[in-house]
Amino acid sequence: MKVVRSAVALQKLLLPLKKKGLRIGFVPTMGALHEGHLSLVRRCRQACDVTVVSIFVNPLQFGPKEDLKKYPRNTTRDIRLLERARADILYLPDEKTFYPPGFQTTVRVSVLSEPLCGRTRPTHFAGVTTVVARLLGIVRPDLLILGQKDFQQYQVVRRMIMDLEWPVKLVMAPIVREKDGLAMSSRNVRLSKTERLEAPKIYRALRLVRQAALKGERSAAQLKKILKRALSAIAGARVDYAEIVDAESLLPVVKLLPNRTYLAAAAVFFSDARLIDNMLLRVK
Ligand code: PAF
């Protein structure tokens, strides 16, 4: 795997590959890699000739009181994991070169950035879309892969790509879970032992919602109640949100209608570690 630190070096590496007509896939990350990220790399390898991964802890997507400083970083381990997963190129910029002095552009998707995580993290998605826009401008991939765990991020980036008519195909990869159901996340390492034992209950709460929907519950208010009640019962957890929304608009719904896709979504704090998870719901 080639490791490059500058946009120019990366483009020099990619240009001849693109000229040969090779299909370039891109997996952006903030490092602290786990099996979830590696599943994106494998998926990318299946679909593309060249897999580019980036590691960049993007300061723009952290609010002033959020965990930028505490965000886990372990580049040596990440490189080893990416080599094992057979990524071809790692783009590893540092903050100064990635956002050079004078950088002042923001890319913001308005409506989709506001509900769910946007309520607690009002500047988060503008930070995400700005960094993804810049990364896409540098890498210019044919395929971009994002994980379902950050479903709102996926929808926001999807909207940005559509609005700006960028020639990149966006693919969403499924959530990868620990054996006990906890969605893999770089933030899981920040859970205490007892919090780690409680955290899988977020997934169980989402499953209760799915079961209720499968049994015929169509009222979004009832499903939300089920989700909220189950999340509130988790010891040491503070519920940030529990919502049932339309999976495309991310807006609240009243009733689940047949053949439409909905999202049960949750964000829960354990101490100051904020975990998110979600489940797609589709009723016949
Ligand atoms: O999902 C993430 O890890 C980040 O939000 C992303 C897409 C790499 C942008 O910094």
> Is there a catalytic annotation at residue 37?
yes
Q: Please list the pLDDT of the chain residue by residue as tens digits (284 residues).
A: 999 999 999 999 999 999 999 999 999 999 999 999 999 999 999 999 999 999 999 999 999 988 899 899 999 999 999 999 999 999 999 988 999 999 999 999 999 999 999 999 999 999 999 999 999 999 999 999 999 999 999 999 999 999 999 999 999 999 999 999 999 999 999 999 999 999 999 999 999 999 999 999 999 999 999 999 999 999 999 999 999 999 999 999 999 999 999 999 999 999 989 999 999 999 88
Q: Ligand 1, residues 39, 55, 60, 61: which to mutate, most atoms within 8 A of Cβ?
A: 61
State the distance from the centre of ligand 1 to the C-alpha of 129, rounded, in angstroms: 9
β-pairing verdict for 261-270 and 273-282: antiparallel
pTM assigned to the model: 0.97
State the distance from the centre of ligand 1 to the C-alpha of 28, rounded, in angstroms: 6
Please, what sign has the CA dihedral across residues 29, 33, 35, 39? positive
The total of other beta-carbon atoms located within 10 Å of residue 247's CB is 18
**pLDDT score recorded for residue 283:** 86
> Does 133 sit in the ligand 1 pocket, CB within 6 Å?
no
